[in-house]
Amino acid sequence: MKAKEIMEPVKETLTPKTTLKDAVNRMRIARRGKGWAGVKGMIVLDNGNLAGIVSIKDILRAIIPSYLALTELGEFTWDGMLEEMAKKVADKKIEEIMTRDVITVSEDAPLMECADLVVKHSLQRIPVLDKDKKVVGMIYIRDMYQAIVQALFDKEGKR
């Protein structure tokens, strides 16, 4: 099986100039697959070219200042602290927080290659590129799991 056989076409993307607040909203309302509401990461395109990817972890890193990341956050118990910090960075541009070094696969990549990248790099999603290096889809870890389930069980649910 190849990446193009299980990838989901990319329907929505962000730009480097998208604000954090807008990105969070778009991720929240995005539809994926069979009506799944919300996504945990989105592709960032600049003039149609892959510029990066933004995930929930990137957003959390933007909200929590680096000086707090060096301390034990469990010591803080200020109610509403995260919410207030989120409001302060709402207008930050995605280009400031996105992951720029994106691991990708070609649409003809075998699933084993995709699984290897997921395991080696602790990925949740992998952008899929066509022969012109344009983003055509996304493989989610859940999609790979479904391919494994399908391989292990036939249509009757027997092993």
**What is the per-residue pLDDT across 81-108, written as a single tens digit (0 to 9) for each?**
778 888 888 999 999 999 999 999 999 9
pLDDT at 84: 84
Residues in the chain: 159
CA distance 123 to 27: 18
Give the percent of the chain with pLDDT over 70: 84
23-27, 63-67, 144-148, range with the lowest pLDDT: 63-67
Question: Are the C-beta atoms of 57 and 13 separated by less than 8 Å?
Answer: no
Short-list 98, 8, 102, CA closest to 59: 98
Query: What structural domains and CATH numbers belong to the chain?
Result: 3-152 (3.10.580.10)
- For helices 56-63 and 20-29, give the axis angle rounded to 10 degrees: 150
Q: Is the pLDDT of residue 125 over 90?
A: yes
Query: Cα–Cα–Cα angle for 87, 89, 93, nearest 5°?
Result: 135
Confidence bin at 21 (pLDDT 50/70/90): very high
Alpha helices in the chain (DSSP H): 3-6, 20-29, 56-63, 66-69, 81-88, 111-121, 141-152
CA distance 39 to 93: 19
Q: Once rounded to an integer, what is the mean pLDDT over residues 12-20? A: 95
Residues near 2 by beta carbon (within 8 Å), at least 6 away in sequence: 107, 108, 109, 110, 111
Residue 74 has what DSSP assignment?
A: G
pTM of this structure = 0.81
Q: Once rounded to an integer, what is the mean pLDDT over residues 133-150? A: 92
Confidence bin at 55 (pLDDT 50/70/90): very high
The enclosing H or E element of 49 equals: strand 49-55
Q: What are phi and psi of 149, to 5 degrees?
A: -55, -45
pLDDT at 17: 97
Q: From residue 77, how far is each of 55, 66, 81, 116, 125 by CA, in Å?
A: 26, 18, 8, 40, 33
DSSP helix/strand/coil, 122: coil
Confidence bin at 35 (pLDDT 50/70/90): low
